[in-house]
Chain A
Amino acid sequence: MRALGKAASDDDRPLVERVRKGDQDAVRSLYERYFDRIYNYAYARLGRAEDAEDLAIDTMTKSLTRLDLFRDEGVAFSSWVYRIAHNATIDHYRRHGKMALVSLEHAPPLASADPSELAVEQLSNDDLHAAIRDLTDEQQQVLILRFFQDLTANQVAGIMGKSVGAVQALQHRALGSLERALQGRAAS
Chain B
Amino acid sequence: MTPEVQRLERLAERLRAVDPFVAPPGAKIRGWNLVLAAVEQSTAARSRAHPVRRLIVGLVAAGVLLVAGALAASADSLPDSPIYPLKGVLENVRGALAFGASDKLAYHLDLARTRLTEAEAMISRHRVDLAGTSLKALDDQLKSAALLVQTERLANPAAAVHLQDRLRQAVATDDQQLADLQVQVQTPAAAGAISQARQHATDALKLAEQPAASPTASPGGPGGHASPSHANGHASPTGSP
- Cα A55 to Cα B37 in complex, Å, equals 17
Q: Decide: B18 and A128 in contact? CB cutoff 8 A.
A: yes
Is B7 in contact with chain A by the CB < 8 A criterion?
Answer: yes
Q: Which residues of B contact A116 (CB under 8 A)?
A: 3, 7
- Total inter-chain residue pairs, C-beta < 8 Å: 104
Q: Decide: B20 and A52 in contact? CB cutoff 8 A.
A: no
Q: Decide: A56 and B8 in contact? CB cutoff 8 A.
A: no
- Interface size class on chain A is 35 or more
Q: Give which listed residue, B11, B32, B43, contacts A179 with CB less than 8 A.
A: B11
Is A143 in contact with chain B by the CB < 8 A criterion?
Answer: yes
- Cα A166 to Cα B39 in complex, Å, equals 37
Q: Which residues of B contact A143 (CB under 8 A)?
A: 15
What is the predominant secondary structure among interface residues of chain B facing chain A?
helix
Considering the complex, which residues of chain A in the window 103-120 have a beta carbon less than 8 Å from any beta carbon of chain B?
115-116, 118, 120
- Interface size class on chain B is 20 to 34
Given contacts A31-B35, A128-B15, 7 further A-B contacts (CB under 8 A): A36-B28, A57-B34, A64-B38, A66-B42, A120-B7, A147-B16, A179-B7
Measuring CB to CB, which residues of chain A are less than 8 angstroms from any residue of chain B?
1-2, 4, 22, 24, 27-28, 31, 35-36, 39-40, 43-44, 49, 52-53, 56-57, 60-61, 64-66, 115-116, 118, 120-121, 123, 125, 128-129, 143, 147-148, 150, 172, 175-176, 178-179
**What are 27 A-B pairs with beta-carbon distances under 8 A?**
A2-B19, A2-B20, A4-B20, A35-B28, A36-B28, A39-B21, A40-B22, A40-B23, A49-B21, A49-B27, A53-B23, A57-B31, A60-B31, A60-B35, A61-B34, A64-B35, A64-B38, A115-B4, A116-B7, A118-B7, A120-B10, A120-B11, A120-B14, A123-B14, A143-B15, A148-B15, A176-B4
